[in-house]
Amino acid sequence: MFFSSPHGQAEVWPNCTKILATTRYNDLMLQQLTINNYAIVDTLEIELEPGMTVITGETGAGKSIMLDALGLALGDRADRDVIRGGAERADITACFTMGDDNLVDQWLRDNDFDSEESICILRRVITRDGRSRAYINGQPTTLNNLRDLGEMLIDIHSQHEHQSLLKTATHQRLLDDYCGLQKKSAEVKSLAGKWRRLNEELEQIKSRAEESNAQYQLLSYQVKELEELALGENELEELEEEHKKLSHGEESVLVNQQVLDLCSENEEFNLEQSLNKAITLLQDIPYASKQTEEAGTLLNTALIQVEEASSALKHAIDQFELDPRRLEEIDQRLGLIHQLARKHHVPPGELAGLYLKLSDDLSGLSEADVQIGLMEEELARLLKQYGEKAAALSQARDKGAKKLAKEINSQLGKLGMEAASFSVALTRFSDSMPRTGGLEGIEFLVSTNPGQPPRPLVKIASGGELSRISLAIQVVTAQTSSIPTLVFDEVDVGIGGGVAKAVGELLRTLGDRGQVLCVTHQPQVASQGHHHLYVSKSSNKESTATQLDKLSDEERVEEVARMLGGDELSEKSLAHARELLA
């Protein structure tokens, strides 16, 4: 059904929920596409149905515009050139019905985009300033999220798809998808990636270990020197204090004795005798003034302090022992400490900290050997696990490759290439290096004529042959796809007649099990659709616009007849059209 709205910027969410309220499908599929101000489209609101929907129209009317816009809603890159002239933004929304317990539903829940309406709405807005905004179920999101989700919803095949089919990486993906080996393939890829990253890290550590061997030797020698020094905590300060004491011992004793003599031991004159005499004189005075009494008190205090000083000096002289041998030992110890300090260009007080740092550095170099050993063990474990998983994957691929080749050969026969022979070559790599793709390279080979050896697709000279081979591969592999909506954009270019009819039948078969959208120029293909949409273009002096209509049964007859015989409809072309549609 085609919907037209005069309001190009109308909100899309209410439209989606309104349609879903009246029409419910049990399966996951694209139900509505709304396009505003994209290319030459003013406003299109398209409701789609299960089965095969064909899209035809006039040359240059923009049949592929709908699919290009759909690609933007799925996360394709875009710029402001896609905005319709005179508009400020392009707005594309794709609305999907939701089944139960599928990968899309799980992805939405895991990423907090789930909706109570059992729908999935992807929206993309591109503005004139070059900015792009993306939404999932009304919530802003990233293009990566939009792209990841889009890849689970729609698979687009175009007439240029065979370009990717020339790449062996595509061959591996298609074979694994066909055989249902996505999980096993992902496990092998993950293990190979882990092994490669760990192996690169190990090589780097080994390289650094070789470079640091000389450093290790130097550190070992330096640490050994400092260990032998065995500098104790506060030892340097204590040694310097003891050295100062011993080196000035004789001078200290002499000065102490001289002062002691002055205080108390000089028989001719000392401070104690003089103070005693002065105190006695003051005590014998007949009358003592207040000042005289204060003087007496101070002299008594002085006498006490002199007596205490004398006692301290005697104690110091008695305790002091001259020890030349100990002084020599201290000189040697301090000499060694200062020698190592000069060698390492640090103050003597920092030698203990230097020892700790060098020990840590040496320990780090020593641990590299332990780390290398552990990493080599982990590499061996990963390699064994990879070998087991990759071998199981290879066995499943070998079995599935034969089945895939058989089905594609069957389709090639229907496409007028009965003499062609398709095969899948699995070539085992000569070394055991873990690879993300597994133990073998995978390549599609074709022999187009009897007696010719199979050759890679890239060496197929005929473009027409390559297009039909590409279509056969796409149709067969699409049947095993878990993606609910398949889009074929002019994949039938360059074929006609019975081959085109066979292509249409193949696409209709896919439509019987899901949803297929097909842009086509071939009446034989268009006649096979469950539904038919017609694209037309209208122009005036100011602008050009595209519109799209769902054709009735009679309108389909006329459109297929036009595709058969041109714009002039004849009874013959109409009859032929009715025959095809029947």
Read off the CATH number of the domain in which 1 is found.
3.40.50.300
350 and 240 assigned to the same domain? yes
496 and 576 assigned to the same domain? no
Give pLDDT tens digits for 256-296. Answer: 778 877 887 787 788 888 888 888 888 888 877 888 888 88
- Cross-strand bridge partners of residue 52: 516
Q: What is the pLDDT of residue 5?
A: 36
Please give the model's pTM, rounded to 2 decimal places.
Answer: 0.61
31 and 69 assigned to the same domain? yes
Output DSSP code: residue 84. Answer: P
276 and 355 assigned to the same domain? yes
Output DSSP code: residue 543. Answer: -
Q: What is the pLDDT of residue 3?
A: 39
Give pLDDT tens digits for 536-577. Answer: 887 776 667 778 889 999 999 999 999 887 767 778 888 888
Q: Is residue 389 part of a domain?
A: no
Give pLDDT tens digits for 226-247. Answer: 777 777 777 778 777 767 776 6
Sequence-ordered list of residues with C-beta below 8 angstroms from that of 19, at least 6 positions apart, any chain: 31, 32, 47, 95
Q: Which residue has the higher pLDDT, 567 or 471?
A: 471
150 and 12 assigned to the same domain? yes
Q: Is residue 337 part of a domain?
A: yes
Whether the pLDDT of residue 450 is over 80: the answer is yes
Whether the pLDDT of residue 6 is over 60: the answer is no
147 and 220 assigned to the same domain? no
Residue 514: give the domain boundaries. Answer: 1-158+481-550
Q: What is the pLDDT of residue 366?
A: 60
180: left (phi over 0), alpha (psi -120 to 50) or beta: left
541 and 581 assigned to the same domain? no
Give pLDDT tens digits for 7-40. Answer: 333 344 445 644 444 444 447 889 999 999 998 8
Q: Is residue 18 part of a domain?
A: yes
504 and 578 assigned to the same domain? no
Q: Which residue, 363, 383, 398, sits at the end of a domain?
A: 363
Q: Is residue 374 part of a domain?
A: no
Q: Is residue 402 part of a domain?
A: no
Task: Name residue 259's amino acid.
Answer: V
Give pLDDT tens digits for 93-136. Answer: 999 988 765 678 888 888 998 877 778 999 999 999 888 999 99
> In which band, very low, low, confident or very high, does the pLDDT at 445 lie, cut at 50, 70 and 90?
very high
Q: Is residue 562 part of a domain?
A: yes
Once rounded to an integer, what is the mean pLDDT over residues 347-352?
A: 82
Q: Which residue has the higher pLDDT, 138 or 2?
A: 138
Of 121, 131, 28, 19, the residue nearest 74 (C-alpha): 121
**Tokens 């899209």 appear where?**
55
Q: Is residue 352 part of a domain?
A: yes
What is the average pLDDT value for the chain, to the nearest integer? 82
Q: Which residue has the higher pLDDT, 16 or 176?
A: 176
> In which band, very low, low, confident or very high, does the pLDDT at 352 lie, cut at 50, 70 and 90?
confident
Backbone angles phi, psi at 101, to 5 degrees: 55, 50
Q: Is residue 207 part of a domain?
A: no
84 and 220 assigned to the same domain? no
348 and 485 assigned to the same domain? no
Say what the alpha-carbon torsion angle 298, 304, 309, 310 is, to the nearest 10 degrees: 130
Q: What is the pLDDT of residue 41?
A: 84
Q: What percent of the chain has pLDDT over 70?
A: 87
Whether the pLDDT of residue 160 is over 70: the answer is no
Of 396, 383, 477, the residue nearest 434 (C-alpha): 383
Quote the number of domains for the chain.
3
86 and 143 assigned to the same domain? yes
24 and 139 assigned to the same domain? yes
Q: Which two tokens stand for residue 178?
A: 């066909």
Q: What is the pLDDT of residue 517?
A: 92
